[in-house]
Amino acid sequence: MSDTTLVISAHAGDFVWRAGGAIAKATARGERAVIVCLSFGERGESASEWLKGTKLDEIKAIRRAEAEAAAAALGAEIEFLDAGDYPLLESPELVDRLVQVYRRVVPTVVLTHPLVDPYNGDHPAAARMAIQARILAQAIGYPAAGEPLGAPPVFFFEPHQPEQSDFKPNVLLDITDAFAAKRAAMECLGAQKHMWDYYTDLAVRRGVQVKRNAGPNLGVPTDTKGEAYMRYYPEVTETLR
């Protein structure tokens, strides 16, 4: 089985802004990427459509189509749990649905939101459920189809307000070769067009940090683009490097 990246996204656009580069890099390597959107972001992240007078069901359909197009641009699979947003309510039932996803997908890496975000409670709610579902999916006695999960590492992707969210990245990912795909995915999200340049600029700033931390002799290109992550669980290794 090839490696599989599982991305648990609170809203239909989050996976693009925060992890589009990582997803595109994984699929370019021939690996599988599965995105789970807990909601469409229909209430809190579709302001342009509400201002037009668009109805709720229509907004959901628009955001679904945008997210499907973005996932296709990244080479990823996508599914929607339609759990609602603003607020995204945590529940045993929703955690169980995520356990089923873990057991079915068998991820080798998990990407999701950080546990702190004072501006958007849906994001830490998604993270808490993603982590709880991972724990339950590991339990041999949990009543879900499939084999107990191993221990895929969990990485938190960068929130929109990193300083206020206690986000201190300890992993910098070079996404230079994947940025064109990420930008194409961003441009699928017409309901949040104001975010396109913001996350392009952020990729440039993180690219500067990639170059600084990689050192001057590693052949990092001058137009480097980057994404920042925080690792939640310790890395297990035989060599410090």
pLDDT digits (tens, 9 = 90+) for 136-193: 999 999 999 999 999 999 999 999 999 999 999 999 999 999 999 999 999 999 988 9
Query: Does an H or E element contain 221, and which?
Result: none
Mean of pLDDT values over 222-232? 94
Average pLDDT over all residues of the chain: 95
Q: What is the pLDDT of residue 197?
A: 96
E strand segments, 38-101: 77-80
| Contacts with 240 (C-beta within 8 Å, 6 or more apart), sequence order | none
Q: What is the pLDDT of residue 221?
A: 63
pLDDT at residue 1 is higher than 80: no
Identify the burial level of 44 via C-beta atoms within 10 angstroms of its C-beta, where 0-12 means exposed, 13-18 middle and 19 or more buried: middle
> Cα(100)–Cα(95) distance, rounded to whole angstroms?
9
Class at the top of the CATH hierarchy for domain 4-231? alpha beta
> Cα(165)–Cα(184) distance, rounded to whole angstroms?
27
% of the chain exceeding 90 in pLDDT: 94
Q: Which amino acid is at 144?
A: A
The domain locations on the chain are: 4-231
Q: What is the pTM of this model?
A: 0.96
- Tens digit of pLDDT for each residue in 12-56? 999 999 999 999 999 999 999 999 999 999 999 999 999 999 999
> Cα(156)–Cα(19) distance, rounded to whole angstroms?
9
pLDDT at residue 218 is higher than 70: no
How sure is the predictor about 215, in pLDDT bands with cuts at 50, 70 and 90? confident
Mean of pLDDT values over 94-103? 98
- 49-53 long-range contacts (CB < 8 A, ≥24 apart) are 49/191
Out of 13-17, 161-165, 219-223, 226-230, pick the least confident. 219-223
Coarse DSSP helix, strand, coil percentages of the chain, rounded to the nearest 5 percent: 45, 15, 40
Q: How many of the other CB atoms lie within 10 Å of CB of 3?
A: 14
